[in-house]
Amino acid sequence: MDVEKINRLYRQWLEYAVEDESVVRELKTLAANPGALEDAFYRDLSFGTGGLRGIIGAGTNRMNIYTVARASQGLAEYVKKHSSEEKPKIAVSFDSRKKSALFARIASGVFAANGIDVRIFPELMPTPCVSFAVRELGCAAGIMVTASHNPSNYNGYKVYGADGCQITEEAADEIAGEIEKVDFFGGIRRMDFFEGISSDRISFIRDELVAAFLSQVKKQSMMTEEDILDKNAAIIYSPLNGTGLKPVLRVLKESGYANVTVVREQEQPDGNFPTCPYPNPEIREAMELCLRDAAKHNADLLLATDPDCDRVGIGVKNTMGEYVLLSGNETGFLLLDYICSQRIRHGKMPGEPVMVKTIVTSDMAERIAEHYGVKCINVLTGFKYIGEQIGILEAEGKADSYIFGFEESYGYLSGSYVRDKDAVGGVFLICEMFACYQAEGISLYEKLEELYRTYGYCKNTLHSDTFEGAAGFVRMQEIMERFRRSSMGFGSRKTVRCLDYMEGIDGLPKSDVLKFILEDHCSVVIRPSGTEPKIKAYISVSAENAETAGRIGEEIAGALEREMADETCSGGI
């Protein structure tokens, strides 16, 4: 590490970073902690297709008003170069996280000072609303201040293009280049947020747009007026102290679902996430209060959305009356089968139907799609690539061909009204699917078991290791390189084929992802997270039953964990 450079940056921040008292206080403590000082300044917080994401705090490698303002100046320069509008617009929203509203105001002031009109939601709003607003309002770009499902000490800054998709690799590289040109304390044009409001450079987005978004959500219904639905189900819902409360309850109420109980402790926005330190519906701990209230009220269905309301997790009763949480893959299987079957039933299946999934999402989705004559497109991890495919279909005059897209990390989208995953729409369709099968006397658990009997049992698990700080960043790179050299197999399952997406496979952009295709229809996908200091591994096992799949999965996971922990191994796994 360049100690001299780190110390120089530190002295600069001590002198000029005086606007935010919390940053001032933290800077004073760093002198006594060389490790923390290094981690705060050893690099600039990286900007990529997901924008910015990092720990809230002082330094160039942290989320604070200075890194947000600098990123906004870079984005403003990019927009001015590429927009044909005399007065381009940017849509802005934010979630319930610490400093989200502040960061949104800072960004808005930078855009306004650069001659860009800002359309900002007056209160916290889900991520898909930004994607919707960009296209509906004819904006050149959009930002969402959120760290999605990360712990409470994180925040982030997602960027959307004029098409409503998260930005492409090419755009991200160009914006990052513009950001690098900007001096933290001398190169940023800023305007006070309230001055921007009074001068009409910044204006609030009206409720009519939110109503239009919810109208599009409801248009994704697979039902007709003649269809019978049982909407009396007892539903437990948690927004996990995030943005989902108002839009989710509103769309359910307007759709006739009246028996909805909200988890009290997780109802109101709270960036501390006091009862769910890791507010991710993928994690069982985040769902514990939902499970508690489901048992208390004898609920039929339980739902939770993450803080920016683009992911949704669900729980249902099994045949023994016990509550079980479904994985993102399982919910995706159910929705895909439901959408396909209902479209065929009502004569609404397009001539060339397409569904899109990520490469880490279970291959069982391909078998379901094939059964219904639906083309399956595989894309890199990240819903932006699913949104990109919708845009490609639209450009080819085949916008109606897209029927569904999902990723194993609890993200779903059934229409093209937005270009990102949408948990408001996910909740709506899950409830409709539940009500449809309920009217037929079928539970979601029973329907899932039916799918497994039809297409074969498939178990998918996610494993991850965390590598904090500068040393952790280097360690992650070393581990990925070792896996590239070690591809013999995992446990007793030998590798049939290794796909290295860094080489650019199937026309996809180059990405640091490895997929090991193993014997007996098993696979392991390994990649560094794009939003957290983690390496993630996705294990997929096909077997005749759950017990066998579990045993095989544990064996593969054990071999994977041993390799992750081995700092010297250079041979096979």
Residues 8-37 have pLDDT tens digits of 999 999 999 999 999 999 999 999 999 999
Q: How confident is the model at residue 569 (pLDDT cuts 50, 70, 90)?
A: very low
With 50 as the cut, is the pLDDT of residue 408 above it? yes
pLDDT band at 469 (very low <50, low <70, confident <90, very high): confident
Instruction: Indicate if the pLDDT at residue 573 is higher than 80.
Output: no
Across residues 297-302, what is the average pLDDT? 97
568 pLDDT higher than 70 = no
Instruction: Band the pLDDT of 505: cuts 50, 70, 90.
Output: confident
- 457-565 sits in which CATH class? alpha beta
Please tell me the least confidently modeled range out of 97-111, 181-195, 508-522. Answer: 508-522
pTM of the model: 0.91
- Residue 435 has a pLDDT of 97
Q: How many CB atoms lie within 10 A of CB 35?
A: 11
Pull the structure tokens for residue 466: 């965390």
What average pLDDT does this structure show over 219-247?
95
Name the nearest CA neighbour of 448 among 433, 461, 429: 433
**pLDDT score of 458:** 87
The C-alpha atoms of residue 334 and residue 447 are separated, in whole angstroms, by 8
Q: Which residues are within 8 A (CB) of 547 and not within 5 positions of it... i.e. 6 or more apart?
A: none
526 confidence band (pLDDT: 50, 70, 90): very high
* 57 pLDDT above the threshold of 50: yes
* C-alpha–C-alpha distance, residues 88 and 140, integer Å: 6
Is the pLDDT confidence value at 571 over 80? no
pLDDT at 409: 93
User: What average pLDDT does the chain have?
Assistant: 94
Backbone φ and ψ for 350, nearest 5 degrees, come out as -65, 165
Give the start-to-end residue ranges of the domains of the chain: 42-212, 232-455, 457-565
State how far the Cα of 186 lies from the Cα of 51, in Å rounded to an integer. Answer: 22
Distances (CA, A) of 117 to 79, 113, 160, 192: 11, 9, 16, 14
Separation of alpha carbons 170 and 172, rounded Å? 5
Per-residue pLDDT, 393: 96
Look at the alpha carbons of 39, 242, 305, 203 in this order and tell me if their dihedral is positive or negative. Answer: negative
pLDDT higher than 70, residue 81: yes
CA-CA distance, 128 to 369, in Å (whole number)? Answer: 25
DSSP-derived 3-state class of residue 156: strand
For residue 567, is pLDDT > 60? Answer: no
Contact criterion met (CB below 8 Å) for 232 and 259: yes
CATH C-level class of 232-455 = alpha beta
* Overall average pLDDT of the 280-295 stretch: 96
According to the model, what pLDDT value does residue 321 have?
95
Shortest CA distance to 104 belongs to which of 114, 89, 117, 91?
Answer: 91
The whole-number pLDDT of residue 474 equals: 87
Per-residue pLDDT band for 164 (boundaries 50, 70, 90) equals very high
Burial 457-492 (b: 16+ CB within 10 A, else e): bbbbbbbebebeeeebbebbeebbebbeebbebbbe
> What are the strands, taking DSSP E only, across 318-384?
323-325, 354-358, 375-379
What pLDDT sits at residue 1?
60
> Does the fold of domain 232-455 match that of domain 42-212?
yes
| Non-local CB neighbours of 131 within 8 Å, separated by 6+ positions | 142, 160, 164, 165, 387, 418, 419, 420
- The string of pLDDT tens digits covering residues 411-463 is 999 999 999 999 999 999 999 999 999 999 999 999 999 999 999 888 888 88
Percent of the chain scoring above 70 in pLDDT: 98
| Mean pLDDT calculated for residue range 164-189 | 95
pLDDT winner (highest mean) among 405-409, 502-506, 508-512:
405-409
Beta strands, E only, 408-544: 411-413, 457-466, 489-490, 493-500, 514-518, 522-528, 534-543
pLDDT category of residue 532 using cuts at 50, 70 and 90: confident
Give the mean pLDDT of 252-277. Answer: 97
Q: Is 566 exposed, middle or buried (0-12, 13-18, 19+ CB in 10 A)?
A: middle
| CA atoms within 13 A of residue 545's CA, in its CB half-sphere | 2
Provide the residue type at 293 as one letter. D
* Dihedral angle sign, alpha carbons of residues 341, 347, 353, 355: negative
Task: Confirm if 250 and 262 have CB atoms less than 8 A apart.
Answer: no
Residue 91: CA atoms inside 13 Å, Cβ hemisphere, count? 32
**How is residue 55 written in tokens?**
């720990």
User: How confident is the model at residue 561, as a pLDDT?
Assistant: 86
Domain 42-212 top-level CATH class = alpha beta
Which pLDDT band, with edges at 50, 70 and 90, does 406 fall under? very high
Residues with a catalytic annotation lie at 148
Tokens of 130: 């930004």
pLDDT confidence of residue 566: 65
